[in-house]
Structure 1
């Protein structure tokens, strides 16, 4: 998968994750893209553990896997942040 595909899948997945989990999260477009790209790694790893194909290219399955990973990362971020407020 090329770099441009990673960026596009990351952006779409990050936007979908933030849409599925609305709240006060940091970052703009760049952080959202990085969230989606990291989500692709996490989601691909988890789906691979279950015997499925992880992120396989620029397709719907890859976006779904990346979104799953991004939602998990957002949940972990919020759990670690706890009740603390950002300044």
Structure 2
């Protein structure tokens, strides 16, 4: 997740549409609400929760530059992918 000014947040969930909705409504944790982190700019799905947790921990350990490169590789314009993810869940 990112803000318009590109503050980044890395997390994992078992229900991406619900979690994106929470961020957009600022119902999620205080960091994302405080910094207006409401845009889904990158995501990945995994078959097992353990895999998602491992990747989350890895990405959280990266420098910002590497996280930005990951986003730009698949979403160079930093478009908000949240609306499509939420629409696909209905």
Fold shared by both chains (TM-score > 0.5): no
Given the two structures, how large is their TM-score scaled by the length of structure 2? 0.26
More helix, by proportion = 1
